[in-house]
Structure 1
Amino acid sequence: MTGTVPGVAATGTGWPDEFVARYVAAGVWGDRTLGGLPREWARRAPRDPALVSGAERIDYSDLDRRVDEMAAGLLRRGIGAGDAVVLHLPNVPEFVVVLFALARIGALPVLVLPAHRRAEVSHVAAVSGAVAYVVPDRHEGFDYRSLATEVRADVPHLREVLVVGDPGEHGALDEVPVPGAGPVPDAARSEDVALLLMSGGTTGRPKLIPRTHRDYVYNAEATAEVCGLTSADVTLSVLPIGHNLPLACPGVIGTMAVGGTVVLARAGSPETAFELIEREGVTFAAVVPPLARLWVEAATAGGAPRGLRSLMVGGARCDRALAASIGPALGCRLIQSFGMAEGLLTHTRPEDGDELVVGTQGRPLSPLDEIRVLGPDGTPVPAGEVGELWTRGPYTIRGYHRAPEYNALAFDAEGFYRTGDLVRVLPSGHLVVEGRVKEVVNRGGENVSETELEEQLLEHPDVVRAAVFGLPDPDLGEIVCAALVLAGGVGKPPRAKDVAAFLRTRGLARFKHPDRLFIVDDLPLTAVGKVDKKALARTVTPT
């Protein structure tokens, strides 16, 4: 099921007119924008707490004021409608303020994660046409100002760097806002692209995912409703909020949409998270399976924090044993979540029985979500059998940003997106995720493109062939493994730490480095001449 994608523009937002009419008529698409949301929230409950970060507490009125002042300052610096800005911040209030300010002036936030480095950031800055780059001074021991200098050298159209904290040679973000600026008009339309998310990547470098204002507002608000969030809820954000899950599933945006409070955490360790849950009255949190396991172990050993009502686990499949342990250990309700930054989300519901909560990844978020489960020949598999998941709907993209060749492979002629995930569907409509057909390793919720890492490894002077694959791991779900064929005459084979040092010089994010390295004489091939990674995983031994 491949072919052209009718109506998809360079930005990948081309829903055909009949689908636009369908989603508008159903009430899932309106005329609201991300930039307009803080204004709505401030009118609704101006003095209610919106954000908590350490000792800093920001109410909804103050948030809207800060967004206006930042928006005015960005406009004064020549950043306006249509301009892309790379946003590379950890979980700090400035992330939220800049995100909404950019949306308000019609600019385009490009979200990258704290772990990303020069290779990823320079690529997305170039592809997006970014004119500015927002970073912290330092985070977890890493100097982002030096990274920004390198990225700016790589990307000529990147005009300026704005830094949270000590700016060094760059500009200071705290000098951008215009105090007392007053309301800045919303320059965006609901059908415009609101932001660009990074894909985990399955073929080479990561792709950019264009999410529109109307689809992303729906994404956040519908997820908050499914999760049962209300204005009384307090959400703990421990995952980097540049991720789709902690940003809008329901995340920061969904929590604020119902009038709740978001507590930003710099780390997700049990020590940090449990203290914040108790101190701030946290009722809801979202984590990836490896972090859920740490929380369960800590709670079992030392007691669970009081007050947590629901824990969403997503980003990777939660195995059954871990899922079954969460409720008893943490004293809360588990919500299993499955999805992708490209769109489709599934969740278990509060009304689901224990078997569905523990054993499935939930039902699609929207009644307008369409799914097909197909066999290798592109035809539907019998009900209940495993096949590849294809989907389309009101918050699933119709194409990646400026990637027409890849779009022809990832989307069919009817606009269905090929997820690469293997699933089976129960009679209740719940999905059980069984694996993937894509060449990607899900390492603790972070997708590592096998192709991208192979391309980087082949740049090493001693490597002539490389194959990257995943192996099961009880803590991370999967670990990243690399099998290398070395050039003739190489003396002492490179060790894992040598390869890691080489990849650091190439600016590759640390989570993409191989956890295990294997030196092999040759790579096994399938009957059609492709590397047989299943056979490789069965036969390799660690160096």
Structure 2
Amino acid sequence: MTPPVRIVVTIPDGRCDELDGVVPFPPDFAARYRAAGYWRGRVLGDLLRPSPGGDSVAVVAGGDSVAVVAGGDSVAVVAGGDSVAVVDPAGRRWAYAELDDLADRFAAGLADLGVARGDRVVVQLPNIAEFAVVSIGCYRLGAIPVYGLPGHRQREIGYLIRHSDAVAYVVADQHQGFRYPELARQVRREAPALRHVVVVGDPDGFTGYADLLLAEPRELPGPDPSDVAFFLLSGGTTGLPKLIPRTHDDYAYQLTATARACGMDEHGCYLASLPVAHNAALGCPGLLGTLAVGGKVLLPPNPSPDEVFELIGSERVTLTTLMPPMVQMWRDALEFFDVDLSGLLIQVGSAHLSPELARGIYTEMGSRLTHWFGMAEGILTYTRLDDPIDVIVHTQGRPLAEADEIRVVDPEGADVPPGEVGELLTRGPYTIRGYYRAPEVNATAFTADGFLRTGDLVRFTPDGNMVVEGRLKDVINKGGEKITAAELEDVLHLHPALRRVAVVGVPDPVMGEVPCVFAVCAEPVPTLRDVREYLREAGVAGYKLPDHFEVVDSLPRTTVGKIDKNRLRQSLSAPSSGLPNPGRG
């Protein structure tokens, strides 16, 4: 595996900013991806603007692959001027020209604060139009957003700021009753490198987002296409999230290729039902991919039917990304609403979608489905819009790019025979070669020749479609939100009444999977309510709190002495939090 290296970013004034801990694409692979047209030398700061020379983006399918090429017949003309780019939660309509100008001003305002190319900026914003302004402004300056989630609290945000050496932190003043300036005050005490807190709304003693927009646009150094554009978060088995460096080159390909895959163009409308800091809603094609091809993005307050069903009709929504629990909610709510969903393509991935629910998208909702598998690290597979219904319902389709290299291996790393189940290994033009500042993790997460070990168990059908059978990683997928068991265990081990702890995911009819804590306890034995409150006070995000708590005499062990989590899962065929008792509450 290519070892972590130090990327030296040279600023035109001669100053250098060192970004260490990034594992780059090997030069021969980078040259190959450029020659094949996957990487076109575009930077994400050019979103909202036509291609150089006025050329529009052209995406051409070749067989089962999708590649971005220059020329050819255009399928998407980048919108501009008065065309609507974003409709925000308050119903305000933001034009392309307006967002373009605000992004320039935000970039200049950051520069006036001393934020420079290569500096990291933790961005924790809900689904509001300012998310696009802040992101694109950072891309234009060459500053690197680190995307936190709205539900993150002191533990997660403090880690992101310290691990990335962030110099700035951008938040909303409040969201869903939570005030973020107070969180900023807490994390700032532990992060000496953090120089600026920028607040959208009431700045509460910090720098106001609106004040940065007073800066006059000007030429800025900007990034190179091979630079890291931003960091996404990975849910893994090592506790707090790993940082995923995505470059301008690789993500620009992903945006246009996924837009083509979903039929998104300047006439399309994307409804953001997930947090836009998630890879799926950010760039598959999501917010950025829709803007890249000139479409319109809707940012509703939440994805509940009473909020979005009317929008789907009035704004002519063509695409949305849903987790299976939300698909079920929408389907069940249809009897109470007069809404036509026949023009809607629903993109589902990252969690198990039952065949019954998948067919119901067609038979009960009158919509269409594209079934995806994806990781923020890169690899994406999907069912094509013209695939047979059985393929769409029962598989996760085929890789996005012809250059995606796929292996399916046994526990010893040997390729399994066609059709058999094994771990998915992959590398390609939009899949990372290493996590940021994580050499020990990279040594096991990647093979010596650069394949990412996904931890997912898959098989391929005779016609080349992938079926996800499970995963090796100890990650709990709660309605699409990834929760690492190790992170909760790290905190719970400090509880005075919990002598030994194990956290596993157990089935849930609504969320698919929820956390369950097994614990060997001392007196007084805590309840579920006590455990949840302890985690909340420790700064753990609310969506990670356990739904079940089981008191046991001992934790089962495997033959090599590890906690046997499979046996723990099997011991709870139908857990229920029920009424409070010594082990539940």
Q: Does the alignment reach a TM-score above 0.5?
A: yes
Is the Cα–Cα contact under 8 Å of residues 6 and 16 in structure 1 kept in the other structure? no
**Which amino acid in the other structure matches residue 353 of structure 2?**
C
State the secondary structure of the residue aligned to 1:163: strand
**How large is the Cα RMSD of the aligned pairs?**
1.6
Q: 1:14 aligns with which of 18, 24, 30?
A: 24
Is the Cα–Cα contact under 8 Å of residues 104 and 184 in structure 1 kept in the other structure? no
**Which amino acid in the other structure matches residue 282 of structure 1?**
V
Task: State the distance in 2 between where 1:289 and 1:184 align.
Answer: 45
State the secondary structure of the residue aligned to 1:395: coil
Task: State the distance in 1 between where 2:108 and 2:409 align.
Answer: 50
Cα offset, 1:90, TM superposition: 0.2
2:50 aligned with 1:40: yes
Q: What residue number does 1:94 align with?
A: 130
State the secondary structure of the residue aligned to 1:39: coil
Cα offset, 1:301, TM superposition: 4.8
Q: What residue number does 1:175 align with?
A: 211
Cα offset, 1:324, TM superposition: 1.1
Residues 374-420 of structure 1 show CA distances to partners (whole Å, capped at 9, x for unaligned) of 11121111111111111100000000001011100100101000111
**Which amino acid in the other structure matches residue 110 of structure 1?**
V
Q: What residue number does 1:529 align with?
A: 561
Matches within 5 A, 1:266-415: 266-306=301-341, 308-415=343-450
What is the number of residues matched between the two proteins? 536
2:487 aligned with 1:452: yes
Cα offset, 1:73, TM superposition: 0.8
Is the Cα–Cα contact under 8 Å of residues 3 and 23 in structure 2 kept in the other structure? no
Q: What residue number does 1:139 align with?
A: 175
Cα offset, 1:326, TM superposition: 1.0
2:546 aligned with 1:511: no
Structure 1: give runs of 5+ residues left out of the alignment: none
Task: State the distance in 2 between where 1:55 and 1:186 align.
Answer: 35
Cα offset, 1:105, TM superposition: 0.5
State the secondary structure of the residue aligned to 2:131: helix
**Which amino acid in the other structure matches residue 44 of structure 2?**
L
Task: State the distance in 2 between where 1:271 and 1:323 align.
Answer: 22
2:197 aligned with 1:157: no
**Which amino acid in the other structure matches residue 90 of structure 1?**
P
Residues 451-470 of structure 1 show CA distances to partners (whole Å, capped at 9, x for unaligned) of 11111110111111111111
**Which amino acid in the other structure matches residue 184 of structure 1?**
E
State the secondary structure of the residue aligned to 2:490: helix
Task: State the distance in 2 between where 1:257 and 1:133 align.
Answer: 26
Task: State the distance in 2 between where 1:212 and 1:176 align.
Answer: 26
Task: State the distance in 1 between where 2:375 and 2:279 align.
Answer: 8
Task: State the distance in 1 between where 2:103 and 2:497 align.
Answer: 51
State the secondary structure of the residue aligned to 1:35: helix
2:5 aligned with 1:5: no
Task: State the distance in 1 between where 2:454 and 2:226 align.
Answer: 24
Cα offset, 1:39, TM superposition: 2.8
Is the Cα–Cα contact under 8 Å of residues 11 and 210 in structure 1 kept in the other structure? no
Task: State the distance in 2 between where 1:133 and 1:102 align.
Answer: 12
Structure 2: give runs of 5+ residues left out of the alignment: 7-19, 55-77, 577-583
Task: State the distance in 2 between where 1:182 and 1:87 align.
Answer: 21
Matches within 5 A, 1:190-205: 190-205=225-240
State the secondary structure of the residue aligned to 2:50: helix
Task: State the distance in 2 between where 1:215 and 1:276 align.
Answer: 33
Cα offset, 1:169, TM superposition: 2.4
Q: What residue number does 2:94 align with?
A: 58
Q: What residue number does 2:461 align with?
A: 426
Q: What residue number does 1:440 align with?
A: 475
Is the Cα–Cα contact under 8 Å of residues 158 and 191 in structure 2 kept in the other structure? yes
**Which amino acid in the other structure matches residue 111 of structure 1?**
Y
Q: 2:117 aligns with which of 72, 81, 101?
A: 81
Residues 278-306 of structure 1 show CA distances to partners (whole Å, capped at 9, x for unaligned) of 22121111111111111111124545444
Task: State the distance in 1 between where 2:222 and 2:289 align.
Answer: 22
Task: State the distance in 2 between where 1:307 and 1:100 align.
Answer: 33
Task: State the distance in 1 between where 2:329 and 2:123 align.
Answer: 29
Q: What residue number does 2:71 align with?
A: none
Cα offset, 1:37, TM superposition: 2.2
**Which amino acid in the other structure matches residue 266 of structure 1?**
P
Q: What residue number does 2:579 align with?
A: none
Is the Cα–Cα contact under 8 Å of residues 373 and 387 in structure 1 kept in the other structure? yes
After superposition, the Cα gap between the structure-2 partners of 1:461 and 1:308, relative to the gap in structure 1 and judged at 3 Å, is farther
Task: State the distance in 2 between where 1:66 and 1:362 align.
Answer: 39
State the secondary structure of the residue aligned to 1:282: coil
Is the Cα–Cα contact under 8 Å of residues 244 and 432 in structure 2 kept in the other structure? yes
Q: Which moved more, 1:224-233 or 1:301-310?
A: 301-310
Task: State the distance in 1 between where 2:135 and 2:571 align.
Answer: 48
Higher relative contact order (CA 8 A, sep 6+): 1
Residues 242-286 of structure 1 show CA distances to partners (whole Å, capped at 9, x for unaligned) of 000000001011111221111112211111111221221211111
Please, what TM-score do these two structures have when normalized by structure 2?
0.89
Q: What residue number does 1:111 align with?
A: 147
**Which amino acid in the other structure matches residue 518 of structure 2?**
A
Identity of aligned residues (%): 47
Q: What residue number does 1:483 align with?
A: 518
Cα offset, 1:172, TM superposition: 1.3
2:160 aligned with 1:124: yes
Please, what TM-score do these two structures have when normalized by structure 1?
0.96
2:287 aligned with 1:252: yes
Residues 126-155 of structure 1 show CA distances to partners (whole Å, capped at 9, x for unaligned) of 011101111111111111111111111121
State the secondary structure of the residue aligned to 1:154: coil
Residues 349-387 of structure 1 show CA distances to partners (whole Å, capped at 9, x for unaligned) of 111010001001111111100111111121111111111
Task: State the distance in 1 between where 2:23 and 2:294 align.
Answer: 29
**Which amino acid in the other structure matches residue 147 of structure 2?**
L
